[in-house]
């Protein structure tokens, strides 16, 4: 069997694959990292690609002047859903998946920044990625926009009180998440420095937030590392000719 390949789209510096990238490397899967803001071209098709990971970033789904590659990413996401290529969209990536496939994204009434517990919806109990998720699983959030409407046919999986669309599945092999399963405290620290002015305006205690995320890091590694491993397993199975399903493994 050829080595499975995951196409990773990174939208900006400091927003790489993090924990998910570590799990990809541990599985012996080859990452094909594209950084279009640095001039990397995006493929026009998914031929030879066994999985698609689209990461987060500051641009909104409609900020094509700021990030002119976004329509190409949206097209890749639609192709992946149609072809049932295992796909994971994170934060902006999840918003792009929703937007590209008929959902809606808008500015949130208030940003969600820090560590927040998630609640599993009934469908998550049988989902390939989220089955067995502990109640109140902690997740790092860092978003000013939100998914306000899921695409037609999408299955809602995770929620929290102010942001009901924290995770969804589209078809048998595409997932979008609003939170950051790839992020640990070492990634959040520079984000906090870059957004220091905005966080001060929001009245957030940055030191307390970073301390909370650092304390939760063992749980973050366990919970979201397991989710990443399950998604990577779907990629490997597809590369070997196996079928992917939405049901739990």
Query: CA dist 33 to 10, 11, 53, 169, 209, Å?
Result: 7, 11, 9, 23, 30
160 tagged catalytic: no
Check 91, 101, 159, 160 and give the catalytic one. Answer: 91
Residues whose CB falls within 8 Å of the CB of residue 10, separated by 6 or more in sequence, listed in order: 16, 17, 33, 34, 35, 55, 57
99 tagged catalytic: no
C-alpha to C-alpha distance for 209 and 166, rounded to whole angstroms:
20
180 tagged catalytic: yes
C-alpha to C-alpha distance for 134 and 213, rounded to whole angstroms:
17
Check 143, 146, 182, 244 and give the catalytic one. Answer: 182
**Which residue in 124, 163, 158, 121 sits closest to 142, CA to CA?**
163
Query: CA dist 91 to 95, 146, 168, 245, 248, Å?
Result: 6, 9, 12, 23, 23
Catalytic residues: 91, 180, 182
């Amino acid at each position: 069997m050829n080595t499975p390949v995951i196409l990773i789209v990174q939208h900006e510096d400091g927003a790489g694959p993090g924990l998910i990238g570590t799990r990809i490397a541990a599985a012996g899967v080859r990452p094909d990292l594209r950084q279009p803001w640095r001039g990397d071209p995006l493929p026009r098709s998914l031929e030879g690609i066994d999985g698609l990971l689209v990461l987060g970033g500051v641009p909104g789904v409609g900020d094509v002047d700021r990030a002119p590659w976004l329509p190409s990413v949206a097209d890749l996401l639609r192709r992946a859903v149609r072809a049932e290529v295992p796909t994971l969209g994170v934060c902006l990536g999840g918003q792009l998946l929703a937007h590209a496939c008929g959902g809606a994204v808008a500015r949130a009434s208030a940003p969600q920044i820090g560590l927040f517990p998630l609640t599993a919806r009934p469908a998550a109990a049988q989902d390939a990625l989220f089955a067995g998720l502990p109640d109140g699983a902690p997740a790092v959030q860092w978003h000013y926009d939100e998914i306000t409407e899921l695409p037609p046919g999408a299955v809602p999986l995770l929620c929290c009180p102010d942001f009901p669309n924290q995770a969804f599945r589209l078809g048998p092999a595409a997932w979008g998440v609003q939170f950051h399963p790839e992020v640990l405290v070492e990634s959040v620290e520079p984000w906090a420095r870059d957004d220091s002015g905005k966080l001060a305006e929001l009245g957030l205690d940055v030191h307390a937030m970073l301390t909370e995320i650092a304390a939760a890091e063992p749980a973050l590694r366990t919970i979201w590392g397991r989710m990443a491993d399950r998604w990577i397993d779907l990629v490997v199975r597809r590369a070997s000719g196996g079928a992917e399903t939405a049901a739990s493994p």
